[in-house]
Homo-oligomer: A and B are copies of this chain.
């Protein structure tokens, strides 16, 4: 594990973008990246769009989402891929054949599909204040899980409901790459910004590896890079 502490959110966004661009350039052959939706990467995608849009020299880069909350009716694509399109794929004009969608239908094929494509070169992850990453929330997946379906109890439904304008679309399950799927990537990049992440980052960096903090397992990866801004790193 290498921990990089930067000044603020803007620098965090820049360094994360540099790291992904570095992955894109590392090989002329196909490069596979799994990337995160959410709020932390917003600044990074803004920078990344400028560097990637219209650049045919990045046509070797393929993208994966690592979790998905589907619409119950199946009327449209899921929440994660929708966010990724809005934040990055659409403004960066990533062609459809380079977007590899994980959804509620195909999740059982995800690990095989990724392996056959050569494996993930890198996966960019956020972390929740509760220690979750991807859809690996406390009490959901086990450390031994590959990509899996998580059945939502009422509390979980309540938690994910705000993603849906029409609450009736809240699904009974979501899907996520599990701990073993994530650990199979060649490079894990985890980033966190702001005071609200300071406590979990202390627990993550200095604390035990425990089910209660799902992300804690990632510390065992041979190539994990953690990027924090000063606020997120303040308790280290």
- Chain A: residues with CB nearer than 8 A to chain B? 2, 4, 18-19, 21-30, 51, 57, 115-116, 118-119, 142-144, 179-180, 183-186, 207-209, 217, 219-223, 225
Contacts and interface: CB of A to CB of B under 8 A. Distances in A.
Report copies per complex. Answer: 4
Given A25-B19, A118-B30, A208-B144, A57 B4 contact: yes
A143 to B, nearest CB: 4
Given A22-B21, A22-B26, A220 B57 contact: no
Given A143-B208, A144-B207, A180-B220, 6 more contacts: A26-B26, A28-B115, A143-B220, A144-B208, A179-B220, A220-B221
A220 B222 contact: no
Contacts of A220: 143, 179-180, 183, 217, 220-221
Contacts of A217: 209, 220
A71 to B, nearest CB: 32
Nearest to A60: B2
Contact of A18 (B4, B25, B143, B209): B25
A144 B1 CA distance: 11
Nearest to A4: B57
Contacts of A26: 22, 26
Given A143-B209, A186-B222, A220-B217, A118 B18 contact: no
Contact of A22 (B25, B28, B144): B25
